[in-house]
């Protein structure tokens, strides 16, 4: 497994277009965008790993700490690179922010490769779900979605 949303992008595009029947204009816009900014698996991992390590080190997390973890997880889901192992580095920053020793990362490093594959699966699934949702909510004909074809615009052509 590549453990990278960007590395599996060609396969994701092929599956989304050929097997799920998503229009190419939707798939070819959303899959690369999702591979770049949709890191849902990373966000979930940050929260779960932080709570796990807080329990291991018997660190009491306050509401403020939880809000910090959620904020960092959301930022990580948008700003983390689509490369293997990026989540563990972001996790060490989150741990320091809530007062958990960064040495706790060593407890997770042994299984991080497996977790990274799971995170990538969640990230790619999010891209696929986004494509199917957008296709379900947009008109069937791609030219209907163009701004110049909206009724009442100067570029629209009224049928005779």
pLDDT single digits (tens) 82-118 = 677 778 888 998 999 999 998 899 999 989 889 888 9
As a whole number of angstroms, the distance between CA 77 and CA 74 comes to: 5
Q: What pLDDT does residue 101 have? A: 92
Q: What pLDDT does residue 142 have? A: 56
Cα dihedral 27/32/33/36 (nearest 10): 150
In 3D space, the residue among 124, 121, 105 whose CA is nearest the CA of residue 57 turns out to be: 105
In 3D space, the residue among 32, 33, 16 whose CA is nearest the CA of residue 24 turns out to be: 16
**For the ranges 74-88, 100-114, 123-137, the one whose mean pLDDT is highest:** 123-137
Q: Compute the chain's Rg from CA coordinates.
A: 20
Q: What is the pTM of this model?
A: 0.78
Mean pLDDT, all residues of the chain: 86
As a whole number of angstroms, the distance between CA 156 and CA 146 comes to: 10
C-alpha distance from residue 127 to each of 42, 69, 77, 81 (Å) = 14, 23, 13, 15
As a whole number of angstroms, the distance between CA 47 and CA 69 comes to: 6
Q: pLDDT (tens digit, 9 = 90+) per residue, 27-53? A: 999 999 998 888 888 899 999 999 999
**For the ranges 16-20, 77-81, 137-141, the one whose mean pLDDT is highest:** 16-20
For residue 78, is pLDDT > 70? yes
As a whole number of angstroms, the distance between CA 159 and CA 156 comes to: 10
Band of residue 70 on the pLDDT scale cut at 50, 70, 90: very high
Band of residue 149 on the pLDDT scale cut at 50, 70, 90: low
Q: What pLDDT does residue 153 have? A: 52
Residues 6+ apart with CB under 8 A from 25: 142
């Amino acid at each position: 497994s590549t453990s990278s949303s960007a590395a599996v992008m060609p396969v994701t595009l092929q599956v989304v277009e050929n097997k799920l029947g998503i229009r190419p204009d939707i798939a070819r816009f959303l899959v690369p965008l999702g591979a770049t900014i949709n890191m849902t698996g990373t966000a979930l991992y940050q929260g779960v790993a932080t709570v796990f390590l807080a329990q291991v080190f018997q660190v009491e997390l306050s509401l403020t700490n939880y809000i910090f973890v959620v904020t960092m997880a959301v930022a990580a889901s948008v700003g983390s690179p689509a490369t293997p192992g990026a989540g563990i580095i972001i996790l060490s920053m989150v741990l320091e922010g809530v007062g958990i020793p960064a040495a706790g990362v060593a407890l997770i490093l042994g299984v991080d490769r497996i977790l990274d594959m799971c995170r990538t699966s969640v990230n790619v699934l999010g891209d696929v779900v986004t494509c199917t949702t957008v296709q379900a909510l947009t008109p069937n004909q791609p030219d209907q979605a163009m701004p110049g074809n909206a009724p009442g615009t100067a570029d629209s052509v009224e049928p005779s």
